[in-house]
């Protein structure tokens, strides 16, 4: 059974950076679809970055383009999310998600993914 574990969240000031990591355990195909989502209380989960590892193909939400970078570390079987120029509106619980197959047009949709981590909190103060 595939499991995901996020790490790297924390509290930072606006303008700072964080690197979130999602460790994958269990057997997966050589090419998988991975994404980072975020959620604030009372709002729907928002896809912010996605990667198809066999491509590699990446996709980003418009609100984070130029500040978020998703990448794969094959050596550690980890998907990372580098977040730069953090803004208070980036405050959220961040989740990683995995699906064995996907379409490039649905990479940032919550319904694409069946396997989810527990989340890591990011808090940005102004």
Give the tens place of pLDDT for each residue, 24-56: 999 998 889 999 999 999 999 999 999 999 777
Beta strands at 57-60 and 3-7: parallel, antiparallel or unpaired: unpaired
Give the tens place of pLDDT for each residue, 75-116: 999 999 999 999 999 999 999 999 998 998 999 999 999 999
Q: Alpha carbon 14 to chain centroid distance? A: 20
């Amino acid at each position: 059974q595939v499991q995901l574990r996020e790490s790297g969240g924390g509290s930072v000031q606006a303008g700072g950076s964080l690197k979130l990591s999602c460790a994958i355990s269990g057997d997966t195909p050589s090419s998988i679809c991975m994404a980072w989502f975020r959620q604030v209380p009372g709002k729907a989960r928002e896809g912010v970055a996605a990667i198809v590892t066999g491509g590699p193909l990446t996709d980003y939400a418009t609100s984070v383009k130029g500040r978020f970078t998703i990448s794969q570390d094959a050596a550690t079987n980890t998907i990372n999310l580098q977040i730069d120029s953090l803004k208070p509106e980036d405050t959220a619980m961040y989740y990683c998600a995995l699906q064995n197959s996907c379409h490039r047009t649905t990479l940032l949709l919550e319904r694409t993914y069946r396997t989810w981590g527990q989340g890591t909190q990011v808090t940005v103060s102004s």
